[in-house]
Amino acid sequence: VEHVREMIESFKLPIVIPGGNMWASTYFTLTGFHAVHVAVGLLVFAIMLTMTLDVRRAGAIENIGLYWHFVDLVWIFLFPLLYLF
């Protein structure tokens, strides 16, 4: 029982990740989520390329454009915050 208890204790993470770094964690969270956002956008663009883009698709084109420019918008703030500050 004592052995199991010690094993469970060893599984518990400390409140601080040893060797962790707040800036690095923030950096990779921000850029990681941005990368996911970009990847989804590229996937949607690839799907759109297979379609005939006419007036019937105007709504989809508009909304995918809005999604993509949101990715753009995020980078406008991420770039100076992460690389120029």
CA distances (Å), origin 51, targets 38, 66, 68, 72: 20, 19, 18, 24
DSSP state of 57: G
Residues 4, 11 contacting (CB under 8 angstroms): no
Cβ of residue 49: shortest distance to other proteins, in angstroms? 16
Among 21, 32, 36, 45, binds other proteins (CB under 8 A): 21
Among 38, 44, 61, 64, binds other proteins (CB under 8 A): 61
Residues that bind other proteins (CB under 8 A): 14-16, 18, 20-23, 55, 58, 61-62, 65-66, 69-70, 72-73, 76-77, 79-80, 84-85
